[in-house]
A and B are shown apart, each in its own frame.
Chain A
Amino acid sequence: MSTTLHLNDDDLVLHYYGEMTPAEEANAGAHLASCAHCQASYAKLQRVMAFVDSAPAVEAAPGFERIAWARLEPALPAPRRASLPGMLAWFVLSPARLAFTAGIVMLIGAAFMAGRMTRQAAPAAASQIVQSAEKVRERILLVDLGEHLDRSQMVLVELVSAPLNDDSGGSVDISLEQSRAEQLVSANRLYRQTALSTGDAAMASVLDELERVLVDVAASPSTVTQEDLDMVRRRIESKELLFKVRVVSSQVRDRQRAETRQLTAGSTLGS
């Protein structure tokens, strides 16, 4: 005897994946046991799922491991062996480091331009060594920009998902996010300027929006009211900032991959 309504398709999916609350589950179980109609729908769902399960995963081609390594090896950063303290720790921006970062940013600028030029015309043989050295540098620097974007993303995610704390009188401690934002601001400014000077307007615009939020967060007190935090959140969400940062970050990685491919191709030809 069934006392509840029929289970709809979505209920059946939740039941299938064990995503119902214990109470819902008990109801659904009892209903299913006594309702032929729902049993039939559930059996259909199970058949489709079993069919999905029986499809083997797509396997990589034979020798894939070797190919994966051939692509990967030239892309692995080498700083572990050659100790370049500035490269590893540049993120901690002391005033001296800032100058170093500025240097890096100029190099990125040069690399961006070089990238553009190689796309337009084949490089002359004489400049090939310089070019490939520049490629290596660009790759390292793109990694740094990628990491900057990753760190920024983390701060944004933390701000957006900071727990609502009702028992602390409506205040939220954001000191951690704040100190991270502070660290990110200077680097962000330099990257934005570089993007502008190399004509990468899309990147510059995202970095600009990002910077405004970072500056605000860095300048705010370490404990903010719920309303303040909500305002920051709305700003991040209304501009889809998190999504945009993710997109440019993926683009930077695409560039990294393209560089790596070129480099791999180059070294194969050269050897």
Chain B
Amino acid sequence: MPHTDAAAVALARDGDSEAFRALVDRHSRAVYRLAHRMTGNPQDAEDVVQETFLKAYRQLGRFESRANFGTWLHRICVNCSIDLIRSRKHQEAGHDAADLETLDSVDEHRVDPSPERLMLSSEVQERVGRAMEELTAMERAAFVLRHFEGQSIEEISGALGLKANAAKHSIFRAVRKMRLALEPFVES
């Protein structure tokens, strides 16, 4: 098994599938984490992982050997997530009522947050996950890119195909919703 990503990429480029497998072994977990954050559910995240590596494989020839493979993959994953989010957004347009019903039924299962419970990282994860669910796909993407990925609003507007002002307002709306959902649990 090749020791470095650069060596694995060079071999994979020549059709060595085991070398590509090594890259999947090393990076698929990180790609999944990002894909899950961007899309918000495991099935979509798995699909995005698959799509990301397929795309990377097809574009290996375009990868510059001095670049960082993980960073490059990361970028492809963001793009694949955006594609999926945008297609979903289209398909789900006009299903707001159904969406609200789902949210309501989720609400019923909420547990009262005692401080001890909130200390558990899985609880925090769940709470934040729920808050993220209140975001539209576009708000979520913009927020994840700004907050977790450290991209500038300018970069985000480019990635999401939004005007700079629209990207900015997606982030404002996202933060507003996060505050609304999380402030009660944060204030002690």
Tell whether, in the assembled complex, residue B17 and residue A76 are in contact, meaning their CB atoms are under 8 Å apart.
yes
Check B125–A65 contact: CB distance below 8 A. no
Given A49-B147, A65-B25: A80 and B15 interface contact (C-beta under 8 Å) = yes
The answer to whether A77 touches B58 (Cβ under 8 A) is yes
Cβ < 8 Å to B, chain A residues 236-251:
242-243, 246-247, 249-251
Contact residues, B1-28 vs A (CB, 8 A): 14-15, 17, 20-21, 24-25, 28
In the complex, which of the residues A17, A59, A143, A250 contacts B86, with contact meaning CB atoms closer than 8 Å?
A250
Quick check: A52 and B152 within 8 Å, CB to CB?
A: no
Q: Are A68 and B86 in contact (CB under 8 A)?
A: no
Among B14, B28, B179, which residue has its beta carbon within 8 angstroms of that of A48?
B179
Q: Which of B24, B25, B45, B178 contacts A52 (CB 8 A)?
A: B178
Q: Are A47 and B186 in contact (CB under 8 A)?
A: yes
Nearest Cβ on chain B to A240's Cβ, whole angstroms: 10
A59 to B129, CA, bound (A): 13
Residues of chain B with a CB closer than 8 A to A13's CB: 171-172, 175
- Total A-B Cβ pairs within 8 A: 137
A37 in the interface, Cβ–Cβ < 8 Å?
Answer: no
Q: Which of B32, B45, B146, B186 is the one whose CB lies under 8 Å from A51?
A: B186
Question: Does A58 contact B20, Cβ atoms closer than 8 Å?
Answer: no
Q: Are the CB atoms of A58 and B25 closer together than 8 Å?
A: no
Q: Are B14 and A247 in contact (CB under 8 A)?
A: no
In the complex, which of the residues A10, A58, A69 contacts B37, with contact meaning CB atoms closer than 8 Å? A58
**A213 contacts partner chain B, Cβ-Cβ < 8 Å:** no
In the bound complex, do residue A257 and residue B178 qualify as a contact, i.e. CB atoms below 8 Å apart? Answer: no
Cβ of B153 within 8 Å of any chain A Cβ, yes or no, is yes
Q: Which residues of A are found within 8 Å of B17, using beta-carbon distances?
A: 73, 76
Instruction: Select which of A19, A51, A56, A77 is within 8 A of B182 by beta carbon.
Output: A51
Whether B183 and A48, one on each chain, are in contact in the complex, defined by CB atoms closer than 8 angstroms, is: yes
- Given A56-B121, A57-B37, A260-B50, do A247 and B87 touch, yes or no (CB 8 Å)? yes
Which of under 10, 10 to 19, 20 to 34, or 35 or more describes the interface residues of B? 35 or more
Contacts of B33 in A (CB 8 A): 57-60
Please state if B58 and A55 are interface contacts (CB–CB under 8 Å).
Answer: no
Grouping DSSP codes into helix (H, G, I), strand (E, B) and loop, the B interface class, with mixed when no group exceeds half, is helix
CB B186 to nearest CB in A, in angstroms, measures 5
Bound complex: CA A80 to CA B16 (Å): 9
Say yes or no: A48 contacts B182, CB within 8 Å: yes
Partner of B179, one of A44, A242, A256: A44
| Interchain CB contact (< 8 A) of A57 among B36, B51, B86, B127 | B36
Known contacts being A48-B183, A51-B128, A55-B127, is A75 close to B50, with CB within 8 Å? yes
Does the CB pair B24–A69 fall under 8 Å?
Answer: yes
With beta carbons under 8 angstroms apart, the residue of A48, A52, A253 that contacts B51 is A253
Question: Does B176 reach chain A (CB closer than 8 Å)?
Answer: yes
A251 to B86, alpha carbons, bound, how many Å? Answer: 11
- A33-81: which have CB < 8 Å to B? 44-45, 47-49, 51-52, 54-60, 64-65, 68-69, 71-73, 75-77, 80-81
A81 lies within 8 A of B86 (CB) = no
The smallest beta-carbon distance between A123 and chain B, in angstroms, is 25
7 pairs of A and B residues whose beta carbons are closest in the complex: A250-B87, A80-B15, A55-B128, A60-B32, A57-B33, A68-B28, A58-B36
Q: 14 pairs across A/B with beta carbons < 8 Å?
A: A10-B172, A17-B171, A48-B183, A51-B127, A58-B45, A59-B29, A68-B24, A68-B46, A68-B49, A76-B20, A80-B15, A242-B161, A250-B86, A254-B87
